[in-house]
Every structure is written in structure tokens, then in C-alpha cells.
Amino acid sequence: MGIVSRGFAGRRKSPDVTLPPGQYLTEDFPVLTAGPTPRVPSDRWEFTVTTETGQRHTWSWQQMMALPAETITVDLHCVTKWSKLGTHWQGVSLDTLLAEVETAADYALAQCYGGYTTNLPLEDLLDGQAWVAYRYDDEDLAAEHGGPARLLVPHLYFWKSAKWVRGIQLLLEDEPGFWETAGYHDYGDPWREQRYQGD
């Protein structure tokens, strides 16, 4: 008998799917966190956009649910090299949340329950590229995947889609977040394989 039993296929690859460099397909939805999973009841959850001048725009859970929702189907690419294709989400576009916000900022720092942060250029949150997502596969987003709501920025590595998001701080200058201060790339484009500083 061989070392590998018959039927073992290893990591799934498909000739008709193009993945970013170094990625492999998974059917699972791996759970990776930088600390304990916050449990935030929706009646205590809120989302705040804070401008560079300190002006605050805040939405309660009820107010967020009253905003126009979008259904999104996107591919996810994690810096740990897994990719999950065709994932289904529901959430509110950052375009909607930032529509009435006056700012001269070029950068944003996502802030989360539990203390996690990640930095992004503001332009990467606009033009239909980012959402505050609260449903996954037609169910409320589970806490281990960032529920009650997470940032969803699918064109960047998945650590930029901050779990348990509670707000966005708008900044005139870039400010590294949790993983970026630990050596991860400031931008994180999976197609350019920007995993770590210097990539």
C-alpha cells in the first residue's frame, strides 16, 4: 500500500481557475484571529466614521439595517495562501456610509471591537470596492467570521477585511495597523503577492 491512499487529491487545483500567485483553493472557510473573539450584541454595536477634524458620523445597528443593502459575490484571498471563490455576502457599501462625509483624507484606519486595526487607502473603500458586511451565505454573520459585522474589501488580502468592525478613522497620512506594524505589507494586493513589507 502506498503512503497516500487512493482518492487523496491534496490541495484542490482547477485548470479553469486563475488564482493570485502562491494561492490554493479551499472549500472551507478557515478561521484565523489575532486574539479572542469579541461577542458584541447588535443592540450594543455601532459604526463610526471619524474624520481627520474629529467630526463623527455614527450608525446604530438599527440605523445600519435601515440603509440600502447590497448582495455581493466575491472571491477571497488570505495571506496564509488559501483562496475561496464565489462567496456570498450582504452589507452596506462604504460609498453609502461616506456619501455625506466631508473629508480631505487619503487614508483610513479600520478599527474593531477587540482592538484590531488595519490601514487602507481611502480610495480602496470607494467605488463599489468595500462594504460593512453582516450576512454570509444568507445567514447572519457568525462571530468567528467577524459578526455581527466586518469590513469586506475583497480585492486585497483578507486581513484588510477587518472582523468585528466598529469604525473607520479618516487620516491625512497613512498609519499602519496591527499586522502592518508586525511586518505585513501596508497595501496587500494578492495579485502582486504583497504579503510582507518589501514584497
List the chain domain ranges. 24-29+42-192
Residue 16's pLDDT is what? 67
- CATH topology for the 24-29+42-192 domain: Sulfite Oxidase; Chain A, domain 2 (3.90.420)
Looking at beta carbons, which pairs linking 133-141 to residues 24 or more positions away fall under 8 Å?
133/72, 133/89, 133/90, 133/91, 134/64, 134/65, 134/90, 134/91, 135/89, 135/90, 135/91, 136/87, 136/88, 136/89, 136/90, 137/87, 137/88, 138/88, 138/90
What are the pLDDT digits (tens) for 129-182? Answer: 999 999 999 999 999 999 999 999 999 999 999 999 999 999 999 999 999 999
First to last CA, the chain: 43
Q: For residues 67 and 117, is the Cβ–Cβ distance under 8 A?
A: no
User: What predicted TM-score, i.e. pTM, was given to this entire model?
Assistant: 0.89
Q: For residues 180 and 186, is the Cβ–Cβ distance under 8 A?
A: yes
Residue 15's pLDDT is what? 52
| Cis? peptide before 176, omega within 30° of 0 | no
Residue 93's pLDDT is what? 98
Which is more confidently placed, 4 or 181? 181
Residue 174's pLDDT is what? 97
**114-to-23, 145, 153 alpha-carbon distances in Å:** 29, 14, 20
Q: What number is the average pLDDT over the span 6-29?
A: 72
Residue 33's pLDDT is what? 76
- Is a pLDDT exceeding 90 seen at residue 103? yes
Q: Which helix (H) or strand (E) holds 64?
A: helix 61-66
Q: Which residue has the cell 502582486?
A: 192
Neighbour tally for 35: CB within 10 Å:
9
Kindly state the cell numbers that stand for 143. Answer: 462571530
- Is a pLDDT exceeding 80 seen at residue 28? yes
Residue 193's pLDDT is what? 96
Grouping H, G, I as helix, E, B as strand and the rest as coil, residue 191 is: helix
Residue 62's pLDDT is what? 97
- Is a pLDDT exceeding 60 seen at residue 8? no
